Amino acid sequence: MNKPPRFPLGLDKLGTASSVSRPRGEVLRPQRPLAQAAQDQARREVPRGLGMDSEAVRRRMVDKLRAAGLRCEPVLAALSAVERHRFVDSALATQAYEDTSLPIGLSQTISKPSVVGHMLALLFEGAHAREHGHLGQVLEIGTGCGYQAALLSMLSRGLVSVERLQGLHDKARDNLAGLRQGSNLRLVFDDGRLGHAPRAPYHSIIAAAGGEDLPLAWLDQLALGGRLVAPMQAAGGGQRLVIVDRTAQGLVTQEQDAVHFVPLKSGTA
């Protein structure tokens, strides 16, 4: 059986508010009761015999994405390496490698592999990624269950992932906890519309929720040569992917495909 891939993580250590100094937005969470932690672990465990650990299962998914037009080799390699079934409830594990979105709780979903792959490939077409071959310092808005964060961890040199829903922030921490500790990935519980100024600027920014506008904080935190990819409400209704590049002459914006993401909201819950 193949071992799950390892990604360097730098999750905030737990402590008390009186003993820990931290930047705004990096919120400490209380320890959950052991019974609740055991229940969460049981939901994450995948029944044996399903073949979900097989590299061939992931390779078939990647082959279908390649046949559908995804050509970015670093993204395809990451999709092949990360075990998507470990980021969904065990009852949905057999659907993990289908090109479909799946519920992850709190009325949120894990996006289709084709959508995730397309958005990551668009980031790789930005000026910084073309020059350096990686996404540089990345800001992810909407951690969700942590699947895309695992992919971004392989493709970047540093990642801050912000989640506004405490339950999903906790779930992502649990889903990523078994991976190797390090300093590459920081999970933050905060209002995603604010971005994360302490680690700015970012060469790549990606969002998993769409609003009526692109928050000014995201644009301010985008580095020169950097690229932002996010859904946004279109003038005629629905959502479209919006791409913003910061050039020496200013911000350059273009619209792409129609998409459907959850609404971008302010605050935390």
pLDDT at 55 over 50: yes
Q: Which residue in 98, 61, 101 sits closest to 80, CA to CA?
A: 61
Residue showing tokens 């990551």: 120
Length of the chain: 269
Question: 241, 210 in Cβ contact below 8 A?
Answer: no
Q: Which pLDDT score is estimated for 47?
A: 43
Beta strands in the chain (DSSP E): 102-105, 108-110, 137-141, 158-163, 185-189, 202-207, 209-210, 222-233, 239-247, 250-259, 262-263
Residue 163 banded pLDDT, cuts 50, 70, 90: very high
Residue 72 banded pLDDT, cuts 50, 70, 90: very high
Residue showing tokens 């090109």: 99
Given the candidates 3.40.50.150, 2.40.50.140, 3.65.10.10, 2.60.120.10, the CATH classification of the domain at 104-263 is: 3.40.50.150
Q: Which pLDDT score is estimated for 110?
A: 94
Task: Tell me which of 183 and 259 has the higher pLDDT.
Answer: 259
Indicate if 111 belongs to the active site.
yes
Distance CA 24, CA 264 (A): 21
pLDDT per residue as tens digits for the range 213-235: 999 999 999 999 999 999 998 88
**Percent of the chain whose pLDDT exceeds 70:** 78
| Given the residues 111, 153, 156, 161, the one annotated as active site | 111
Give the Å distances, CA to CA, from 3 to 21, 53, 59.
Answer: 36, 8, 15
Q: Which pLDDT score is estimated for 231?
A: 96
Residue 31 banded pLDDT, cuts 50, 70, 90: very low
pLDDT at 35 over 70: no
Written as six digits, the tokens of 237 are 């209704």
